[in-house]
Structure 1
C-alpha cells in the first residue's frame, strides 16, 4: 500500500477521530517497521 493510497483513504474518512486513530495506527506500524529495517540494514559489528 502506497502513501498516496493511504492519504486518499484518509481524505475519504468522514470524521477527524477516524483519521486520528488511523494515523496513530500507521505511526505505530511505521515505528516498528523502521526499527526492524534499521537493524537489518545496519547490523551491529
Structure 2
C-alpha cells in the first residue's frame, strides 16, 4: 500500500495497493493489481 495523498484540510487520504490472495482450499492464488482507494477522514 502506498499513500499518495494525505490532505488534512480536505480530510482525504488516497492511495494505491496490490496484493496476492490464496483461496480457502489453498490451491489457487489471485493477484489484485492497480488497486486504488479514496477515504474521507472525520
Structure ranking higher on relative contact order (CA contacts 8 Å, 6+ apart)? 2
Which structure shows the higher strand fraction? 2
TM surpasses 0.5: no
Which structure shows the higher helix fraction? 1
TM-score interval w.r.t. the shorter chain?
A: under 0.3
State the TM-score, normalized to the length of structure 1.
Answer: 0.21
State the TM-score, normalized to the length of structure 2.
Answer: 0.21
